[in-house]
Amino acid sequence: MNSEELKPGFQGSTPRALLENATISVKKEELRKVLSQLKDAGFDHLSDVTCVDYPDEREFEILYHLWSHAKKCRKVVKIRLPRESPSIESVSNIWEGAQIHEREICELFGVNFEEHPDPSPLFLEDWKEIPPLRKDFDTREYVKREYYDESSSEQKEGGCFLLPFGPQHPASGHFRALIDCAGEEVTGLMLYPGYLHRGIEKLMEYRTHEQNAMLVDRICVLEPYSYELGYANVAEKIAGVEAPERAKFIRTIMTELGRILSHITWIGMMSFALGFESANRIAWGDREKIIRLIEIASGGRIYPCHFVPGGVRRDFPEGFEEKISRVLNHLQKKLVFYDDLFFKNATVIKRTEGVGVLDAKKAVELGTTGPNLRASGVKSDIRKDEPYEAYPEVDFEIVTQTKGDSYARVLCRRGEIAESISIIKQLLEKIPKGETRKQLPRKIPKRDARFCLEAARGEACFYMVGNETDKPYRVKVRGPSFSHTLMTFSYLAKGAQVADIPAIYWSLDPCPSDMDR
Amino acid sequence: MGIKHKTRARSLWVINYFTACGFIELLPWVGSGYDMERFGILAKGSPRHADVLIIAGYVTKKALPRIKRIYEQMPSPKYVLALGSCPMTGGMYWDSYSTIKRIDKYIPVDVWVTGCPPKPENIGHGLVMLMKKIENGFEGH
């Protein structure tokens, strides 16, 4: 697969040079013009905005990663800014969803975005140091001064503590939302994330590949496998090494198990948010069965640390394939039971049907991906569009719905559980024998690579820059929940009833720890 | 010890505020597999109804004032359980600019449970240890 290659058939008046190159460097003045031309030419999805700091060259590099849902191809627009007074025009008037990525860069790198609607800090509170993801900020030196020095003063109290929705709320994740309402109708929603921000991207710059394989697990607690897979793949891509065939199969099987795990956990969360506790209890019971499988394969229950760049840490133990088949058969039978219990339950339908309707155009505009986008009728799945790992070997359907409401998102996830079961069954029949791990060269070459995959929640991407050392120079993680919570949720909440907020929120299946990183 | 401590130990109500990834291994305790209600442990939405605060995993600088505020709102006697390596030492995030390294610098902790995250069995062991401690006359904070 070569995603960088441009597929023919683009329409419009966009200059050919813009369309032919997978990577374009532009000047500051032309940025908006180029990006809006590309959007008109079919690159409707702004996947991510990344910033890389190059203090030696006294420059910041900002990268706009685009994707075309219609043509299934990617494009990168690069721009260099002087490090002294980094300032660039905001592109939030082209893609509404860009504003949240720009706000993050503004906070973590100190880049000023002109005409940005809301450049206030996102993750950190009362931050007085230089922006933490700049290269001249040394987190270890800071930590020594701030936390380990006994003479330093105790942390001062933060701001006020209002809690209409979160951070302490049974149906919210760990973030705070202030809901503005007139009677029962929500008129505005202000979101304050950052309660789980650990600065994982900064920590990765201080660790080698093997150490980072442990750290990427912790990005999303509900579905660690996809992130391990993303990191392993981007590290292999930058080193130019391909993992052995058997390792690819093992990784795909385990990632699909992780997807089922995540969706079943979501059944529990969603039913809890709807006040339907019996489905919650039953879902947690089934989740335990998959967790035990993961424990047998890797040794870890929640954080398996199973995939490393170059392959997998452990091959399947003896007789593991039968154990997977047994659990899958159980789940297949259980899905029919879940249909009666949850998916076709009159209460669930009443609480979710017609609630939080997201049309396809707006969904793409806001940067929505994964099941939430497919529920709005957009047939987009990176497993099919840019097949990676062992996905070219399997035959599966992209599950879509048309209505785009909360119930469509519920049904979409139900369909995906069934598809994942069938994918694993096909892979178990075809799994080859052989080695499971290749050694990667210790030094990471001086170039960049990007890898995108379909996590259970949507598009997860890793961007890595090497610098001829054994540690990555910069890693950027694009988690799906970042756009889902901060853009899609706040869009859907406006105009909804207060009682529907938990139903809308959980129908998007966000993961706060993935959002904050 | 007396009847007061025996009854207290058998009706620990936990505040429904799970800070981070440790919560994922607490949730099996809510389900029927482990079933914490047989120990008299119940999840509560309001801090004013709760006896036990569970620090489940890493605490960020931004979350700390909120945790302190919740702790202050809880009526005495109250107990604190810290789950995972991160609240003790910083754990995986020992060099992160945004997380707290030792939670007992800010609020008192009665039981520590190690792990990243701890297994449900270990969490149960921690809860039973806290119950034994109370039965033996521990007055809490």
Domain of A316: which CATH number?
1.10.645.10
- Is A161 in Cβ contact with B98 (below 8 Å)? no
Query: Who among B17, B92, B101 is closest to A168 (CB)?
Result: B17
- Is A168 in Cβ contact with B47 (below 8 Å)? yes
Which long-range contacts does B100-107 make (Cβ < 8 Å, 24+ apart)? B100/A147, B100/A155, B100/B58, B100/B59, B100/B60, B100/B61, B100/B64, B101/A143, B101/A147, B101/A148, B102/A147, B103/B55, B103/B59, B105/A154, B106/A154, B106/A155, B106/B64, B106/B67, B106/B68, B107/B53, B107/B67, B107/B68, B107/B71, B107/B80
Chain A: nearest CA to B81, how far in angstroms?
Answer: 17
- Is B94 in Cβ contact with A285 (below 8 Å)? no
Residue A161: closest C-alpha in chain B: B66
From the candidate CATH numbers 3.40.50.12280, 3.40.190.10, 3.30.70.1450, 2.115.10.20, the one assigned to the domain spanning B3-135? 3.40.50.12280
What is the pLDDT, as a whole number, of residue A152?
53
| Any A CB within 8 A of B58 CB | yes
For residue A170, tell me if it sits in a domain: no
Collapsing DSSP states into helix, strand and coil, what is residue A117?
Answer: coil
Residue B33: closest C-alpha in chain A: A285
Query: Cα A417 to chain center, whole Å?
Result: 19
What is the pLDDT, as a whole number, of residue A86?
86
Query: Who among B31, B60, B102 is closest to A196 (CB)?
Result: B60
Task: Clarify whether residues A240 and A101 are in a common domain.
Answer: no
DSSP state of A162: -
| Any A CB within 8 A of B117 CB | yes
Task: Clarify whether residues A315 and A229 are in a common domain.
Answer: yes
Contacts of A158 in chain B (CB under 8 A): 62, 64-66
Given a cut of 60, whether residue A155 has pLDDT beyond it is: no
| Any A CB within 8 A of B42 CB | no
Task: Clarify whether residues A43 and A113 are in a common domain.
Answer: yes
Per-residue 3-state assignment (H helix, E strand, C coil) for A405-446: CHHHHHHHHHHHHHHHHHHHHHHHHHCCCCCCECCCCCCCCC
Number of domains chain A contains: 2
How many interchain CB pairs under 8 A, A with B?
A: 127
- What type of residue sits at position A385? D
- Is B61 in Cβ contact with A195 (below 8 Å)? no
For residue A171, tell me if it sits in a domain: no
Task: Clarify whether residues A134 and A239 are in a common domain.
Answer: no
CA distances from A426 to A198, A229, A251, A316 (A): 38, 20, 14, 17
What are the structure tokens assigned to A157, written together?
A: 């109290």
- Is A268 in Cβ contact with B96 (below 8 Å)? no
How many alpha carbons fall within 13 Å on the CB side of residue A66?
29
Chain B: nearest CA to A87, how far in angstroms?
Answer: 25
Query: Who among A158, A197, A285 is closest to B65 (CB)?
Result: A158
Q: What percent of chain A has pLDDT over 70?
A: 91
* Mean pLDDT calculated for residue range A4-13: 43
Query: Who among A203, A284, A303 is closest to B96 (CB)?
Result: A203
The residue ranking higher by pLDDT, A18 or A469, is: A469
DSSP-assigned beta bridge partners for residue A192: A176
pLDDT tens, N- to C-terminus, chain B (141 residues): 688 888 888 888 888 777 778 788 888 887 777 888 888 888 887 888 888 988 888 888 888 888 888 898 888 889 998 988 888 888 888 888 888 888 888 889 999 998 888 888 888 899 889 999 898 888 878
* Mean pLDDT calculated for residue range A230-248: 90
- Is A301 in Cβ contact with B92 (below 8 Å)? no
| Any A CB within 8 A of B49 CB | no
Asked if A486 and A100 touch (Cβ cutoff 8 Å), the reply is yes
User: What is the average pLDDT value for chain A, to the nearest integer?
Assistant: 84
Mind listing the pLDDT tens digit for each residue in A458-508?
888 999 888 888 888 988 998 888 888 888 888 888 888 888 888 888 888
Domain boundary among A127, A142, A157: A142
Task: Clarify whether residues A216 and A307 are in a common domain.
Answer: yes
What is the pLDDT, as a whole number, of residue A10?
44
Given a cut of 60, whether residue A13 has pLDDT beyond it is: no
Kindly report which listed range (A192-196, A224-228, A263-267, A433-437) carries the lowest average pLDDT score: A192-196
For residue A327, tell me if it sits in a domain: yes
What is the pLDDT, as a whole number, of residue B1?
65
Task: Clarify whether residues A466 and A321 are in a common domain.
Answer: yes
Given a cut of 70, whether residue A145 has pLDDT beyond it is: yes
Strands annotated E in A310-418: 311-312
Collapsing DSSP states into helix, strand and coil, what is residue A496?
Answer: coil
What is the pLDDT, as a whole number, of residue A256?
92
What is the pLDDT, as a whole number, of residue A263?
92
What is the pLDDT, as a whole number, of residue A442?
86
* Mean pLDDT calculated for residue range A316-329: 90
Given a cut of 60, whether residue A189 has pLDDT beyond it is: yes
- Is B116 in Cβ contact with A284 (below 8 Å)? no
* Mean pLDDT calculated for residue range A29-44: 86
| Any A CB within 8 A of B96 CB | yes
| Any A CB within 8 A of B27 CB | yes
Question: Angle, to 10 degrees, between the axis of helix A224-239 and the axis of helix A209-217?
Answer: 150
| Any A CB within 8 A of B115 CB | no
Q: What percent of chain A has pLDDT over 90?
A: 9
Contacts of B96 in chain A (CB under 8 A): 139, 143, 198-200, 202-203
Collapsing DSSP states into helix, strand and coil, what is residue B32?
Answer: coil
**DSSP of A185-231:** EEEEEEEE--TT---HHHHHTTS-HHHHHHHHHTT-SS-HHHHHHHH
Domain of A132: which CATH number?
3.30.460.80
What is the pLDDT, as a whole number, of residue A15?
64
| Any A CB within 8 A of B64 CB | yes
Domain boundary among A142, A167, A188: A142
For residue A168, tell me if it sits in a domain: no
Residue B25: closest C-alpha in chain A: A302
- Is B20 in Cβ contact with A168 (below 8 Å)? no
pLDDT band at A252 (very low <50, low <70, confident <90, very high): very high
Domain boundary among A142, A170, A186: A142
DSSP state of A282: H
Contacts of B63 in chain A (CB under 8 A): 167, 174, 195-196
Contacts of B18 in chain A (CB under 8 A): 174
What is the pLDDT, as a whole number, of residue A421?
92
Kindly report which listed range (A16-20, A74-78, A410-414) carries the lowest average pLDDT score: A16-20
| Any A CB within 8 A of B24 CB | yes
Contacts of B102 in chain A (CB under 8 A): 147
Given a cut of 80, whether residue A157 has pLDDT beyond it is: no
- Is A157 in Cβ contact with B61 (below 8 Å)? no
Task: Clarify whether residues A323 and A254 are in a common domain.
Answer: yes
Query: Who among A161, A221, A288 is closest to B69 (CB)?
Result: A161
For residue A448, tell me if it sits in a domain: yes
Q: Which residues contact A195 (CB under 8 A, 6 or more apart)?
A: A167, A174, A175, A176, A512, A516, B19, B60, B62, B63, B66
What is the pLDDT, as a whole number, of residue A502?
84
- Is B90 in Cβ contact with A161 (below 8 Å)? no
What is the pLDDT, as a whole number, of residue A14?
61
Mind listing the pLDDT tens digit for each residue in A95-105?
888 888 888 88
For residue A275, tell me if it sits in a domain: yes
Selected for mutation to probe chain A from B60, B86, B107, B121 (highest A CB count within 10 Å) is B60
What is the pLDDT, as a whole number, of residue A440?
85
For residue A58, tell me if it sits in a domain: yes
CA A251, A253, A255 angle in degrees (round to 5)? 65
- Is A285 in Cβ contact with B31 (below 8 Å)? yes
Structural domain containing residue A214 = 200-516
pLDDT band at A3 (very low <50, low <70, confident <90, very high): very low
Contacts of B61 in chain A (CB under 8 A): 124-125, 155
| Any A CB within 8 A of B4 CB | no
Chain B: nearest CA to A84, how far in angstroms?
Answer: 24
